[in-house]
């Protein structure tokens, strides 16, 4: 197989991967698929989609009749929006805070 043929084959495979990734991003999930994706129990999913005391539900979702649906991209965003800071980020914030405190004291 020539180098050009190998490159063409790699390019086709990359295009396939890109298409699959793009298609999955906006995939619509039902409760079972959401449970498989997140590991959250069915009861917890239903609790997180309920509105309480006029507050918006925790999980972004759609409702069609009695069925719930979720957009994969929104669930991934929801799952990753509360990132825990690592040690270096906390240390940097402490340094920035102490520098700011010294400036305000002067």
Instruction: Determine the structural domain holding residue 66 and report its residue range.
Output: 3-82
In this prediction, residues 79-89 reach a mean pLDDT of 89
Hunting for tokens 């719930």 — which residue is that?
68
Question: What is this structure's pTM?
Answer: 0.59
Q: Is residue 16 part of a domain?
A: yes
Q: Is residue 15 part of a domain?
A: yes
Element housing 68 (H / E): strand 67-71
Which tops the pLDDT comparison, 52 or 78? 78
100: left (phi over 0), alpha (psi -120 to 50) or beta: alpha
Q: Is residue 96 part of a domain?
A: no
* pLDDT given for residue 51 in this prediction: 85
Q: Is residue 30 part of a domain?
A: yes
Q: Is residue 103 part of a domain?
A: no
* pLDDT given for residue 59 in this prediction: 94
How does DSSP assign 15-63, residue by residue?
Answer: HHHHHHHHHHHT-EE-HHHHHHHH---HHHHHHHT---TTPPPSS--EE
Q: Is residue 29 part of a domain?
A: yes
Q: Is residue 56 part of a domain?
A: yes
The tens digit of pLDDT for each residue in 26-44 reads 789 999 999 999 999 999 9
* pLDDT given for residue 24 in this prediction: 60
What is the tally of structural domains in the chain? 1
Q: Is residue 91 part of a domain?
A: no
């Amino acid at each position: 197989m020539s180098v050009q043929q190998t490159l063409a084959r790699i390019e086709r495979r990359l295009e396939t991967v890109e298409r699959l990734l793009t298609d999955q991003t906006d995939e619509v999930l039902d409760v079972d698929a959401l449970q498989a994706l997140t590991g959250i129990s069915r009861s917890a999913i239903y609790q997180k989609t309920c509105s309480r005391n006029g507050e918006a539900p925790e999980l972004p979702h759609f409702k069609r009749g009695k069925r719930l649906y979720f957009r994969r991209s929104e669930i991934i965003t929801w799952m990753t929006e509360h990132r825990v800071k690592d040690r270096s980020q906390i240390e940097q914030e402490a340094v920035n805070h102490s520098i700011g405190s010294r400036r305000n004291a002067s």
